[in-house]
Structure 1
Amino acid sequence: MAGQVTIAEVEQLCEPGEIDPDDVHLPGVFVQRVVPLSTEEAADKRIEKFVTREATE
């Protein structure tokens, strides 16, 4: 079962052609709603985590 509505939370709105297509993770055809985040909301992303570990050979 899949959701019927996809909501994209964006830090910055861009005009078409302004960013490299390879930087797009979800094509716009699949997005029904766009919610711009405030500066405070963008700084406090609870799901996104930065994880680092030492390289293994």
Structure 2
Amino acid sequence: MTTIVLILSIIVGIVLWVIYHQLFNVAYFGSTAMIAEFFICVVIGFYIVSHVIGFFVDLFR
């Protein structure tokens, strides 16, 4: 279950990162900023995925 959550979190993080770049024109001042931004999107993705999975687990319990 943990592996599924991590894989889905990375996928959701990539989608959030792409949407963020489509909505806002972002200029980088180094690769560290890009890595930090991607990491934040993956953390937000983990939060979303874990809450959605938790919701459905509680729903069908």
Higher helix share: 2
Give the structure-1-normalised TM-score: 0.26
Instruction: Please report the TM-score for the alignment, with normalisation by the length of structure 2.
Output: 0.25
Task: Name which one, 1 or 2, has greater alpha-carbon Rg.
Answer: 1
Q: Which has the higher strand share?
A: 1
